[in-house]
Amino acid sequence: MFSTLRFAAASFALIVSTLSAAAFETTARAAYVLDQSTGTVLLAKNADEPVPPASMSKLMTLYVAFEAVRDGRLKLDERLPVSQHAMSYKGSTMFLNTQDRVKVEDLLRGIIVLSGNDACVVIAEALSPDGTEAGFARFMTERAELLGMTNSSFANSNGWPAVGHRMSVHDLAILANRLILDFPEFYPLFAETEFAFDGRAPSNTHNRNPLLKLGIGADGLKTGHTTEAGYGLVGSARQDDRRVIFVLSGLDSNTKRAEEAEAIVKWSFRQFGEKTIAKAGTPVAHARVWMGAEPSIGLVPVEDITVLLPVLAGDSITAEVVYTGPVNAPIQKGQVLGELVVKPDDLPELRLPLVADRNVAAGGFLVRVRTAANLLLTQFAAGPEGTL
């Protein structure tokens, strides 16, 4: 699959020619699509612009709650009180009242399936450093930044319209990815299509995610809608061994959200496929060794390198092996010596480490003499500095 086309300044160009996948044209104000297994960004539109996230920001409340359960600070069967403040929220609710003490497990399902604004506040007040929703919102902002979400700030726990309550679609994708990876025990909750809590809300028992029943592998995560934010969706779907995470924000109708979300899932799986371009332990290049018992060392990937390519790309990609050479001996097997830089057309480049395929000891006396002699001969052949 690889062929060396040139060598210069310790780099190789490997293989050329790819065909591009047709770009997805979305009417969303902001959008982001990530292939989880390869980390490839398939679509980014206004990805880092902070926008009103509406109920999609409930995912951050859920992340903090899942952490608390995992760490033992909350228990799933623990019953939490409902404050007047929690009860005061309108919109999507579990119809909680101040006489209730609700199990944490029911509150989590109420947030995920029913998008309960009141349920979010009950969780928030239980985990807040100062017992208030505002204090929890400040904690959410700090926790989000530690997760790498640099364009998120929270004014409440549920996405109710508020000044300064903003998230980027890129941040929402980061959060979705972390929820899937960090909490596999809780993630199946996002695929639940119905939750009838205590028979209280017959008009609010169904999950609003339009993809869950379509048979396309969709299994999460959260819808959102306000007048300011428009219609949005943080979604994920898995087909075979591939998972795609996507975020849409600012669509103008529920119907448009459903149509675009389904189209993005189908586009992501149909227009791109995984290809293994290098095998673990198999050299993709050789680097010269300086003062070593051997003249060169193989550069190998630590594990199989699989990249996502447009389905029309065939067997060719653009890639480059880069290292600083010659490499000084001694060299240890597994020592990082360079990178394989993969450059699919219309997709972000990937930089993957390459390591030594074996040990190479420092050369003995004869090697050092031979190397010094070769260096002197090279300098002599080049002539005095400045000679034309």
CATH of the domain at 280: 2.60.410.10
Same domain membership, residue 220 and residue 87: yes
Q: How many domains does the chain have?
A: 2
Same domain membership, residue 307 and residue 255: no
Beta carbons within 8 Å of 30's beta carbon, 6+ residues apart:
45, 46, 47, 49, 51, 168, 169, 247, 248, 249, 250
Same domain membership, residue 173 and residue 54: yes
Q: Which domain holds residue 378?
A: 4-18+276-382
Locate 178 and state its tokens: 């972390």
Considering 11, 83, 92, 115, which one is annotated as catalytic?
115
Residue 241, domain member (yes or no):
yes
Q: Is 115 tagged catalytic?
A: yes
Residue 25, domain member (yes or no):
no
Percentage of the chain lying above the pLDDT 70 cut: 86
Same domain membership, residue 327 and residue 191: no
- CA-to-CA distance for 350 and 329, rounded, in angstroms? 28
Residue 98, domain member (yes or no):
yes
CATH number at residue 130: 3.40.710.10
Considering 11, 45, 57, 58, which one is annotated as catalytic?
58
Residue 387, domain member (yes or no):
no
Residue 388, domain member (yes or no):
no
Average pLDDT over residues 64-69: 98
- CA-to-CA distance for 202 and 387, rounded, in angstroms? 91
What's the pTM value of the predicted model, to 2 decimals?
0.81
Name which of 68-77, 179-188, 235-244, 334-343 the model is least confident about.
334-343
Residue 359, domain member (yes or no):
yes
Considering 11, 55, 92, 152, which one is annotated as catalytic?
55
pLDDT at 2 exceeding the cut of 50: no
| Confidence bin at 120 (pLDDT 50/70/90) | very high
- CA-to-CA distance for 155 and 173, rounded, in angstroms? 20
Same domain membership, residue 336 and residue 241: no
- State the distance between the two ends of the chain, measured CA to CA, in whole angstroms: 42
Locate 6 and state its tokens: 């040139």
- The sign of the dihedral angle between the CA atoms of 333, 335, 341, 347 is positive
pLDDT at 14 exceeding the cut of 80: no
Same domain membership, residue 241 and residue 161: yes
pLDDT at 266 exceeding the cut of 90: yes
Same domain membership, residue 214 and residue 157: yes
Beta carbons within 8 Å of 363's beta carbon, 6+ residues apart:
291, 292, 293, 329, 371
pLDDT at 17 exceeding the cut of 60: no
Query: Smallest Cα–Cα separation from 14: which of 266, 305, 238?
Result: 305
| Confidence bin at 371 (pLDDT 50/70/90) | low
Residue 23, domain member (yes or no):
no
Same domain membership, residue 301 and residue 222: no
What is the per-residue pLDDT across 287-346, written as a single tens digit (0 to 9) for each? Answer: 989 888 888 999 999 998 888 888 776 556 778 898 887 888 899 999 999 999 887 766
| Confidence bin at 38 (pLDDT 50/70/90) | confident
More confident residue, 195 or 306: 195
The domain boundary residue, chosen from 217, 235, 270: 270
Same domain membership, residue 333 and residue 212: no
Name which of 53-57, 119-123, 182-186, 273-277 the model is least confident about.
273-277
Average pLDDT over residues 231-245: 97
Percentage of the chain lying above the pLDDT 90 cut: 68
Q: What is the mean pLDDT of the chain?
A: 87
Report which secondary-structure segment, H or E, holds 265. Answer: helix 254-270
Which residues on adjacent β-strands are paired with residue 234? 222, 247
Same domain membership, residue 301 and residue 264: no
pLDDT at 193 exceeding the cut of 70: yes
| Confidence bin at 386 (pLDDT 50/70/90) | very low
The domain boundary residue, chosen from 231, 249, 270: 270
Residue 303, domain member (yes or no):
yes
Same domain membership, residue 284 and residue 358: yes
The domain boundary residue, chosen from 270, 300, 332: 270
Same domain membership, residue 310 and residue 218: no
What is the per-residue pLDDT across 335-359, written as a single tens digit (0 to 9) for each? Answer: 999 999 887 766 777 788 999 999 9
What is the per-residue pLDDT across 166-176, written as a single tens digit (0 to 9) for each? Answer: 999 999 999 99
